[in-house]
Structure 1
Amino acid sequence: MKEKWAFLFFRVLMKMTPVCPFVKASRPDDASSRKPAENSSKHQVEHDGSKAKKESTDSGTISPKCPFGYDSQSFKLGPLSCVICQALLFDTSKCVPCSHVYCKACISRFKDCPLCGADIEKIEADMDLQNTVDRFIEGHARIKRPLVTSEKEEDVAGENKNVIYEDVSMERGAFLVQQAMRAFRAQNVESAKSRLSLCAEDIRGQIERLGNTSELCSQLGAVLGMLGDCCRAMGDASAAVAYFQESVDFLMKLPMDDLEITHTLSVSLNKIGDLKYYDGDLEAARSYYFRSLNVRRDAIKHRSNVPSQILDVAVSLAKVADVDRNIGSENVAVDGFQEAIKLLESLSLKPEEAGLEQRRHSVLEFLNSQLAEKQPASTTT
């Protein structure tokens, strides 16, 4: 999975509060003792038209920590984690006879238990533990808040107050994306897809309530792109195209003055083009490659001094030219290859941009090889 997807998602969550449901969540009985500053960045929830009373400045609350070790900075292995993919358990399975548990997709690749070395006689589903994991995910980052509807209710000691869950799915989104990335890197694609689908569902719910804000559209665009990567890894090209197209639709709603959004949009278009190309639909592939090229060309009009953007344009030119050659437009293809070469040869990189230099060299090598393989002009009518 491309790191760009996750990078875009996390960029829009930089100002989030910690993801752990236990962080800064006060005890059930001290709703009126939190300091105003603690709630200044949180949405105050309304219920039946009544707003909660301003909280007292008295005394202190303890900032609890998640018992499983999850917080905004780290995602530690815990009792609900699979030690193979290092993500939360998915399709939890138990080894017999040692009873150690893993994700089914992870442990299915082993004959001996990775923890104790015992021979695995069979693998059994552990539904009880999986239900616990699912409940943990459902509750993660959904912080309980007491609802006070009147001053009288606030003063009644020991009275059971209504409890609601503050909607902080953006925070849960970062948690789910992190788990998905871990699973995907370990080739546990079903787990990654499940976590990302839940994240997308959360964001769609936010969009229904708040509308197509830039933050939500960029988040959903990134998550849909990752879902497309999952489907492609699973061999489901049609579903991958659908996710990439939906990603494009949401990213197109955003201003094109952000380099990361521009890059992610062009990547989505290219990935659709790749899938069409491998499916043999060259005209459709060229259409998507060309759209990506236009997005990238527009970007360098405003930021012509950004090397990564220039490299992106060269890559898009190469993709379009490759299709042109395959559909018989050899002269057009050669022009595209030559334009890309000129761009890369004129690109000046700093010593600290060694990674870009390696990429530039790789693309140049490909382009020169394509020109060396120039096909003779067709003599057929």
Structure 2
Amino acid sequence: MNADRETMKEHKKLHAFSKRSLLRIPLLPLLGPVAYALSPGIKECVKQYPEAAGTVEFTLSRLARTVVRHPIKVIPLLSTITDWVTHYFGAQREQKNSRQFLIYTTLDDTIPFRPEWDTLYTYMISQIGYLTEEVLQQCSTKEVKEVGRMFTHLTKISAEVFNTLPTRMVRLRNHDRISLRAVQAIDDPLNCCPSLHIAYSVLIDNLMGNVLDTKSSNPQLWRDVRIASTGMFDSVLYTKQHALVCVATGILAAEIAYKHFHPRRPFNDFADLFGQMSGEVPYKEVKRLYRDVQKHYSRTRHLPTAIKALFDQEEYPLVSASQAENEYVRLLSKETVQHMRKT
């Protein structure tokens, strides 16, 4: 637990939280009422607002500056956002009433619920802001378009899994966190596998480290990227937004998209870093699931088929949408049981 507190302190040093942007004042009338509506009271709202709003302020200010400097080159990257909205939320609407796989296991349930990790979870949009600015500064228009296609490819292959293999996570609401309440209000606990938070973070890290070589050209930026990338693994699991299998398959989805465009460049799957991450998370299990789904993919060369093979191997139950709202799988006993937490 002490290690986790130290890790959280390190995350608070990220640029988005160390300096407030010039948008702080004009955004207050917009974000303030939303934060208050999502908070349990004015005291918590005042306490959490700077942290909750920091990511939004930082990202908008960074993107605004980028658009002004590169109005034409930025278009291919901005279009990837509309692709994500279309494919991700479109799949949620399509599969809302479909039979769904229950992927939250007894091993997932041993991971403590730490809603305060929502700050790093929402930091994902700052990661995108980092990448956008760095790509536009270093790359030609042709290369910028390639980066946009890479993320579109990642989104599309993930959406194919969402539509073929609908999944459901638990939804824990017994918390007072503004950012997590906002996420839960927008994003249903559906189609969480593969985790796009993990897939995008891993892809961004590999692009910044192995393609753009940010670690040499901008060490401070690279430090922020790496802290956020590694921290995202703990974040998605502590907030119960994703299960262990979502993390494993998210790494694979990023790997497929990256190697589709950069087959000869090295790829960091983060497996070597798992030992440095939280001791409360069974990263050996993430690594096992990742290696297993990798093997399935090497045989099938099709992400949905590979993940279906993993689901069959792990015996995740497939139940009706109504059952899925109140049940989850117990991996060790291979039984579907009533989920007794508050949902």
Say whether the fold is shared (TM-score over 0.5): no
Larger CA Rg, structure 1 vs 2: 1
Larger fraction in helix:
2
Report 1 or 2 for greater relative contact order, CA contacts < 8 Å, sequence distance ≥ 6.
2
TM-score, normalization by structure 1: 0.25
